[in-house]
Chains A and B, each alone.
Chain A
């Protein structure tokens, strides 16, 4: 019974991951790329939360803790990403990732 419910939850995660990957592969705009990465990361965060809910004992708490850590990591990652976006925009006047194929000009 609970396996069926877990499978439905995991289906949601897989869908989110798929959407995120689709965005990563197709977007050329750096900001949309960052958003897609966030979506994919959140699929993983959701998985932590599901498994924490189904687990018993200390494992449940650690799963939730891991979820919080990953959210924090995602936030810092976005901060770094946005900094790169700003630098890129300042240097090349464009935030199209397909155009930024060299590390220096």
Chain B
């Protein structure tokens, strides 16, 4: 019982504030005199949520290892049938624990700054009440997800953030590309969501009646028993095939949400939404929900060894997979989006290697520097009105703050000390390195992660040089750029500060309480220093290469006869994965649907309609017999009489004879 107990019990306030904002802006925003008023309501309420969130984090940091569960039993089924022998409860509640407190800080700080930034950035757009209402609803869902005290509630909010992501990607819904990108994001993540739900079913099947955690599923999949967390005691080191498959389902759900290979295609296309949405949802928070799911499962339930290998494989491969596509892209937002996928790969890699807290550490720093990069890119787009890097140039003179902000974000992303990304990314690499003995397959994925450090530094500085270096815009038709208004500059400055120092937070003992687990804070032995030197060297190498090719306004064009051209095409075509999915959707699924339609129309409906037509014709014939003329009826009576006579006199005796009776 600590001093912050009441505060932890009232954690539901954090999602409640944005919910109030959603209701006010969503239902009354249209009636306000100016659209910005609704925006200010949302900003103030998200600021309140941030305030409470930070208070909770401070409380949690000062009372290490406290788990506070406040739950309400929604439905309680008694145990009657064999499947439900332990009964079943549906509970809703909030669980304040170290990792959810940390996530509250990430979600609400970035959420508040993005809301503030939006006031200026979205100034010229139509439908602002809708924008702020949806953004507020997103904050409700994300805070709810972070605070969930059971897996089903987690899934509920998980779907809700997905819906908000769909709404916001499709914010410019009159643009066909935005509408289809929204659909794509929804459908691709849905593949993961369905598997995630199947995984929950598998956990239920395992834990409903028996198993090490008997009664866990029956109690509503809660992560804690009262205020005592399970902390991996459910799965532990058991290697049951069912649990392995359930763990893989969790990985699939996380891969859909966090855009990991092979469900990564939707995130670059999600850049059709406003840049602010990309910064909040598709960089800092929602896409991190997948990683958060893996962290939660690994912390409370545990993964089997096979699951961990699969997670390492997915994360490690995704780092280099996405980074390679960022090398050639010329859309400033898409470059940053690919880097998001790649960085999420690092977090997944760390969770897979058994260092969930290291993954969460990288999530924490990444949220700030990636939101910073997106908001800086948004500032550039706001100023020049294009996203094409090749048309920009020379912006450093007119946009000093954005120039420095993007530089800080890029340095942090490249893992150059002392920026935030360096500490967490190095921690990821060091923790995975410490586990390479666990399985021979860890090596190649660790090498992928190291190679990605080089690629990352190259592509992000390529973007930086292209946008800000040189004498002026390469496209003369671009407007003369001006620095952004204060509502955009302030978030950039705050996030730049965080991107500088967030990595050092882990060395503050009370803050490290929010990341309770192996690897945090990073330790620096001889091996670790060598690894750090390698990764920093790779980072500077990428930076240097980018300078040689793109610095000072140079634009490197690959010669048309270069043997590398086919690779460039493949990367620009995104390895043809999206084309394959489109082909699958258009040809394979459509063909199957056509076949099903044929069966439906001609076999099933045909049978029904055939029976109907037979009866219709039969009754038509019967109706024609009913002429209404007395003589006809008399004729039927007489023919019936004659028939009866014929039967009695000839047919019946013949039948009796032929069956041998009498």
- Asked if B629 and A21 make an inter-chain contact with CB atoms under 8 angstroms apart, the answer reads no
B529 sits at the interface (CB 8 A): no
A87 sits at the interface (CB 8 A): no
| Bound: A98/B634 CA distance, A | 12
List, in ascending order, chain A residues with CB within 8 A of B631's CB: 24-25, 27-28, 97-98
List, in ascending order, chain B residues with CB within 8 A of A28's CB: 631
Nearest residue (CB) in B for A100 is: B630
- B611-654 CB contact bits vs A (8 Å, 1 = yes)? 00000000000000001111100110010000000000000000
- Asked if A24 and B628 make an inter-chain contact with CB atoms under 8 angstroms apart, the answer reads no
Closest chain A CB from B51 CB (angstroms) = 87
- Asked if B638 and A24 make an inter-chain contact with CB atoms under 8 angstroms apart, the answer reads yes
| Bound: A97/B628 CA distance, A | 10
- A87-105 CB contact bits vs B (8 Å, 1 = yes)? 0000000000110111100
- Asked if B629 and A98 make an inter-chain contact with CB atoms under 8 angstroms apart, the answer reads yes
Could you name 12 residue pairs across A and B whose Cβ atoms are closer than 8 Å? Answer: A21-B638, A24-B631, A24-B634, A25-B631, A25-B638, A97-B629, A97-B630, A98-B629, A101-B628, A101-B629, A102-B628, A103-B628
Nearest residue (CB) in A for B639 is: A25
- Asked if B634 and A25 make an inter-chain contact with CB atoms under 8 angstroms apart, the answer reads yes
| Bound: A25/B631 CA distance, A | 6
List, in ascending order, chain B residues with CB within 8 A of A24's CB: 631, 634, 638
- A29-40 CB contact bits vs B (8 Å, 1 = yes)? 000010000000
- Most chain-B CB neighbours within 10 Å: which of A24, A27, A33, A100? A24
Closest 7 CB pairs of A and B: A101-B628, A97-B630, A101-B629, A24-B634, A98-B629, A102-B628, A21-B638
Given A25-B635, A97-B631, 19 more contacts at CB 8 Å? A21-B638, A24-B631, A24-B634, A24-B638, A25-B631, A25-B634, A25-B638, A27-B631, A33-B630, A97-B629, A97-B630, A98-B629, A98-B631, A100-B630, A101-B627, A101-B628, A101-B629, A102-B628, A103-B628
User: A3-45: which residues lie under 8 A (CB-CB) from chain B?
Assistant: 21, 24-25, 27-28, 33
User: B138-174: which residues lie under 8 A (CB-CB) from chain A?
Assistant: none
| Bound: A28/B628 CA distance, A | 14
List, in ascending order, chain A residues with CB within 8 A of B630's CB: 33, 97, 100
* Dominant secondary structure of chain B at its interface with chain A: helix
Closest chain A CB from B416 CB (angstroms) = 102
Closest chain A CB from B646 CB (angstroms) = 15
Closest chain B CB from A16 CB (angstroms) = 15
Nearest residue (CB) in A for B635 is: A25
Closest chain B CB from A41 CB (angstroms) = 14
| Bound: A27/B629 CA distance, A | 12
List, in ascending order, chain A residues with CB within 8 A of B627's CB: 101
User: A43-61: which residues lie under 8 A (CB-CB) from chain B?
Assistant: none
Nearest residue (CB) in B for A98 is: B629
Question: How many residues of chain B are within 8 Å of chain A by beta carbon?
Answer: 8
What residues of chain A have their CB less than 8 Å away from a CB belonging to chain B?
A: 21, 24-25, 27-28, 33, 97-98, 100-103
Closest chain A CB from B395 CB (angstroms) = 94
List, in ascending order, chain B residues with CB within 8 A of A101's CB: 627-629
List, in ascending order, chain A residues with CB within 8 A of B634's CB: 24-25
Closest chain A CB from B568 CB (angstroms) = 88
List, in ascending order, chain A residues with CB within 8 A of B628's CB: 101-103
| Bound: A101/B629 CA distance, A | 5
Nearest residue (CB) in A for B627 is: A101
| Bound: A62/B634 CA distance, A | 30
| Bound: A97/B627 CA distance, A | 12
List, in ascending order, chain B residues with CB within 8 A of A27's CB: 631
| Bound: A24/B630 CA distance, A | 9
Closest chain B CB from A38 CB (angstroms) = 14
| Bound: A103/B629 CA distance, A | 10
Closest chain A CB from B637 CB (angstroms) = 9
Closest chain B CB from A14 CB (angstroms) = 11
List, in ascending order, chain B residues with CB within 8 A of A103's CB: 628
Closest chain B CB from A18 CB (angstroms) = 10
List, in ascending order, chain A residues with CB within 8 A of B638's CB: 21, 24-25
| Bound: A29/B573 CA distance, A | 94
Nearest residue (CB) in A for B634 is: A24
List, in ascending order, chain B residues with CB within 8 A of A102's CB: 628
List, in ascending order, chain B residues with CB within 8 A of A25's CB: 631, 634-635, 638
Closest chain A CB from B224 CB (angstroms) = 82
| Bound: A100/B629 CA distance, A | 7
Closest chain A CB from B256 CB (angstroms) = 72
| Bound: A55/B634 CA distance, A | 33
| Bound: A63/B240 CA distance, A | 94
| Bound: A24/B638 CA distance, A | 10
| Bound: A78/B504 CA distance, A | 119
| Bound: A100/B633 CA distance, A | 13
- Most chain-A CB neighbours within 10 Å: which of B627, B628, B630, B635? B630
List, in ascending order, chain B residues with CB within 8 A of A97's CB: 629-631
| Bound: A33/B630 CA distance, A | 10
List, in ascending order, chain A residues with CB within 8 A of B635's CB: 25
Closest chain B CB from A44 CB (angstroms) = 13
Closest chain A CB from B631 CB (angstroms) = 6
Closest chain A CB from B275 CB (angstroms) = 81
- B248-267 CB contact bits vs A (8 Å, 1 = yes)? 00000000000000000000
Closest chain A CB from B632 CB (angstroms) = 9
Nearest residue (CB) in B for A97 is: B630
| Bound: A103/B633 CA distance, A | 14
Nearest residue (CB) in A for B628 is: A101
User: B250-296: which residues lie under 8 A (CB-CB) from chain A?
Assistant: none
- Most chain-A CB neighbours within 10 Å: which of B628, B634, B635, B638? B634
| Bound: A33/B634 CA distance, A | 11
| Bound: A28/B629 CA distance, A | 10
| Bound: A28/B630 CA distance, A | 9
List, in ascending order, chain B residues with CB within 8 A of A33's CB: 630
- Most chain-B CB neighbours within 10 Å: which of A21, A33, A100, A103? A21
Nearest residue (CB) in A for B637 is: A24
List, in ascending order, chain B residues with CB within 8 A of A98's CB: 629, 631
| Bound: A27/B627 CA distance, A | 17
List, in ascending order, chain B residues with CB within 8 A of A100's CB: 630
Nearest residue (CB) in B for A22 is: B638
| Bound: A12/B622 CA distance, A | 38
Closest chain A CB from B27 CB (angstroms) = 64
Closest chain A CB from B526 CB (angstroms) = 112
| Bound: A21/B636 CA distance, A | 12
